[in-house]
Amino acid sequence: MAKSWQDVDTRKNGLAVVIGRFQPVHFGQLYNIDEGLKIADNVLVLIGSAFNSSSPKNPFTYEQRAKMVKDYYFQSQHRDRIIIEPLADYIYEENQWITDVQEIVSQYETKKVALIGHEKDDSSYYLKNFPQWDFIETGKWPDTVKGIDATKIRELYFNHNLNYVAGVVPLSTYNFLEWFSTTQEYKDLVEERNFIDAYKAAWANSPHPPTFATVDAVVVQSGHILLVKRREQPGKNLMALPGGFLGETETQEDAVIRELREETKLKVPVPVLRGSIKKEKTFSNTSRSQRGRTITQAYLFQLKNDEPLPKVKGSDDAKEAAWYPLAEFYNMEDQMYEDHFYIVKKMLDNE
């Protein structure tokens, strides 16, 4: 059962934990940190989605978000009591995400730990994943706009409307947002956001919310994986798995082989590709694509390891195609489109 912070003895806990994406830092999150400072010796701020690629949903890097927090507390007497750490995503491995949180916390405190937060909606479910710690419900930031919505902040920000934003973020964050709006990164994100908005508008009159079906190819050989660089929005210039939408008259297996050959010009005969399929798995996380509900079927192709890597060339929707050592791929999370990094990990790590 959640406690109110008023019910906790002052500085009873060794550590208060605040988890969030901070995209961007706003007063609601800072309110949670402030309440944590009241009931614990130190506050550990875990910044989630720390290594994701840039997108309208995750526009700012971990370093930028950490600096937003540090800048707000720069002149505070409590700044040395605030610890900031990155927290990776594990979209299809929640137990690993929970383990990461536990391991980071154990570096600073193992006994008296309080988890600080506000159960505002379904997105706050993670607050229930740590029964070993006291959960302190802080409630909404006591503002005049009845709560803060980070999604709304980003939406208005990319529409060049800063009136609402100015009232819910600290001045230091606002100044950063103003500067960021002058960069090429901002222009690219606006372009992607406009594409997504237009994409959704095209389906606005559908009698039912559409569900899109796609396929993705995880092709490995001799410790290498085949990736493409996306030519167009969304995710322009990000790395991705070869794949695309399921054709109306295609099976999923036919579609993934077609997309693979179209995007990479992979010089492997179709019968060999069919015989190389070792696994297939459905990925249906409801938030995996910003275009709307998109369910993909991923196929693992294991080509023969004792042969030279087949030549490839980017084509169709792919600007480039190339083989990457798996050791290099596992450091490419911040370059990968949507959930493709996590799809590969799920398909390969459980082998």
CA–CA separation, 197 and 87 (whole Å): 29
Closest by Cα among 288, 209, 189, 203 to 243: 288
3-state DSSP of 42-86: EEEEEECCCCCCCCCCCCCCHHHHHHHHHHHCCCCCCHHHEEEEE
What residues form DSSP beta bridges with 47? 20, 86
Where does 284-345 show beta strands of DSSP type E? 294-302, 318-325
**Torsion, CA 254, CA 260, CA 261, CA 264, rounded to 10:** 180
Q: What is the chain's alpha carbon radius of gyration, rounded to the nearest angstrom?
A: 22
From CA 48, how far away is CA 247, in angstroms rounded?
36
Which of 137, 320, 338, 351 is catalytic? The answer is 320
320 catalytic residue (yes or no): yes
Q: Which one-letter DSSP state was computed for residue 160? A: T
Task: Name the packing angle between helices 62-72 and 27-39 (round to 10°).
Answer: 60
Report the catalytic residues: 320
